[in-house]
Amino acid sequence: MRSDWFTLHYITLTTREVGTRIRKQSSKRIKMGPAAGAGRASFCVCAALSSSSIAKPLLHPRSSLPFPSKTIIYKKCKVNLQTSVQDAADSKVSCRVLNVESGINDEACELVSGEELSLEDGDDNIHAYLFKAVKNNNGTGLLLLSDIYGFEDSFTRDFAYRVACNGFNILVPDLFRRNPWTKDQPNTLFEQWIARHNPERIAKDITAWTEWLADEFMTAGITKKLGIIGFCFGGGRVLEVLARDQGACFGTGISFYGTKIDPLIASDVKVPVLFILGDNDPFCTVGEMKNIQMKIDRGSKVVIFPGRGHGFAHRPGSLEEDDDAEQAYVIMRDWIYENLMV
């Protein structure tokens, strides 16, 4: 009986001194035994994280991680896949994340696994990336909606990695179907680019991944509700998702400087929302967010960082912004614990 061969693509993460990870792609040829994959036409292509090269947590140039060497986690793809490779990892890592008064102590966070998933949509596939805490996983599922730079952006994945490091399962969907905005494009082309991404199609993709998260974590009784987080473009979509959901799946939302928000939908949101923004943001004004927060009520909150502009919490451009980004992260993390786990 023959064995099947396939190529498993994985991503390793390296670091700069400031803690920003640079993603590098490589591949490894894996042989599957007859029992695992013989005679099957399709195969699993997952992404994995090498713990020997995972960088420091986002926004922590002061921290370091003593990873064991050459530990690779291969996680099973559960969506639309027929063969898989899995290698359990027992090594524990320490993130040494800043502890704050009244905050959750995430000093001893666990190794994080990552995998790329896909769902069929007619002749096309929609993709997402899932980060999971390997040990001490609290079972809570979170959806992270990216900014215009998409789900493969290193800043977005850094942030998702750190959230998973605190024990969560966080899914980052590809909102732009492999066609995100890139920094080398002239701003004059932005409206033309965004017009190619139909809002109804984006909403449909988000719904599909929400259903997957619900099946994966809610149906099994692991967690009662999901949480949703969004940056910029994704932060605006957080309100739309919650308005449609009506409290069925999501227990709370966090919107970082959300854009293109329709204030008329605020009254349809049935769960508390945390809004985080700077008061020097031309794309997301304090007055607008306070107005939306009052319409939602339900314990919603607006947190304003003086002097900060757009994107400071997940794309800090200075050490000063890094300190505020750290504080914003802790506020978000504690909000998730209080609204989903307490």
Tens-digit pLDDT profile for residues 135-193: 889 999 999 999 999 999 999 999 999 999 999 999 999 999 999 999 999 999 999 99
Q: Supply the angle between the helices 319-336 and 154-165 in degrees, to the nearest 10.
A: 50
Residues 6 or more apart whose Cβ sits within 8 Å of residue 320: none
The CATH number that domain 111-341 falls under is 3.40.50.1820
DSSP code per residue over 204-256 = HHHHHHHHHHIIIIITTTS-S-EEEEEETHHHHHHHHHHHHHTTSSEEEEEEE
Class of residue 42 by CB neighbours under 10 A (exposed 0-12, middle 13-18, buried 19+)? exposed
- State the pLDDT at residue 342: 66
The residue behind tokens 């986690």 is 73
Q: Where are the beta strands (DSSP E) in 122-214?
A: 124-133, 141-145, 169-173
Q: What is the pLDDT along the chain (342 residues), one digit of tens a residue?
A: 433 332 233 333 322 223 333 233 333 222 233 333 333 332 223 333 333 333 333 333 323 233 232 222 323 233 332 222 223 222 222 232 323 233 344 444 558 999 999 999 888 899 999 999 998 899 999 999 999 999 999 999 999 999 999 999 999 999 999 999 999 999 999 999 999 999 999 999 999 999 999 999 987 777 889 999 999 999 999 999 999 999 999 999 999 999 999 999 999 999 999 999 999 999 999 999 999 999 999 999 999 999 999 999 999 888 778 899 999 999 999 999 999 986
The DSSP code for 29 is E
Residue 313 CB-density burial (10 A; 0-12 exposed, 13-18 middle, 19+ buried): buried
The CA distance from 252 to 250, in Å, is: 6
The SS3 call for residue 72 is strand
Determine the pLDDT at residue 20. Answer: 34
Please report, for the chain, the start and end positions of each structural domain, with discontinuous segments joined by +.
111-341
18-55: per-residue pLDDT in tens? 333 323 333 322 223 333 333 333 222 333 333 333 33
Burial degree of 262 (CB within 10 A; 0-12, 13-18, 19+): exposed
pTM above 0.85, yes or no: no
